[in-house]
Amino acid sequence: MNEDIRELYQQMIMDHNKNPRNFHAMADADRTAEGYNPLCGDHFKVYVKMEGEIIKDISFDGSGCAISKSSASMMTAALKGKTRAEAKALFEEVHKMLSRGIGEPFDAAKVGKLATFCGVCEFPSRVKCATLPWHTLLEGLDPTGKQVTTE
């Protein structure tokens, strides 16, 4: 990866960690789910307000490392106004990007701003931090009643 881009991505992660977007509880949420990453200590709750199939509003609270918190922040920013199906499709692309081999390409056009996390694939233990908010959201969208944990 180009060093300038790497630097920019690191700054974006630090910015979202320091000033997370949509970082608050939502009293009138239709759906909520909690997720844990015991390896790192990340613990978040995701709140969603649906209008039919559309994610009308989405927020989160909790605590975790810079990767998990900024991933949750950017996820909520990316998904507001999207449909449930679009959210799932986006996670599939993000997951592909995060779990690809080091040096392998990914489709940046399909992940948009979430390309910020493309370097995380070099740190396998951090992939769980980045995907935790997504797994938590999916449980909120389609509840299975199972506890969301990365283990």
Strands (E), 42-92: 42-51, 54-63
| Interaction of residue 131 with Zn ion, rule CB under 5 A | no
Nearest Cα to Cα of residue 118 among 129, 135, 102, 132: 102
In this structure, which amino acid lies at residue 31? R
36, containing H or E segment: strand 31-37
Selected range binding Zn ion among 14-22, 28-36, 59-67, 99-107, rule: CB under 5 A? 59-67
Q: Which of 12, 29, 65, 77 binds Zn ion (CB under 5 A)?
A: 65
Q: Which of 22, 33, 42, 59 binds Zn ion (CB under 5 A)?
A: 42
Are the C-beta atoms of 139 and 146 separated by less than 8 Å? yes
Burial of 62 (0-12, 13-18, 19+ CB in 10 A): buried
Q: Which of 59, 68, 70, 136 binds Zn ion (CB under 5 A)?
A: 68
Those residues with Cβ within 8 angstroms of residue 104's Cβ, 6 or more apart along the chain or in another chain:
none
Q: Give me 41's structure tokens.
A: 């200590």
Selected range binding Zn ion among 23-31, 42-50, 79-87, 103-111, rule: CB under 5 A? 42-50
| Interaction of residue 70 with Zn ion, rule CB under 5 A | no
Are the C-beta atoms of 120 and 127 separated by less than 8 Å? yes
| Interaction of residue 139 with Zn ion, rule CB under 5 A | no
| Interaction of residue 40 with Zn ion, rule CB under 5 A | yes
Nearer to Zn ion, 31 or 126 (CB): 126
Size of residue set near Zn ion by CB under 5 A? 5
Q: Which of 78, 129, 130, 141 binds Zn ion (CB under 5 A)?
A: 129
| Interaction of residue 44 with Zn ion, rule CB under 5 A | no
| Interaction of residue 76 with Zn ion, rule CB under 5 A | no
- What is the binding site for Zn ion (CB under 5 A)? 40, 42, 65, 68, 129
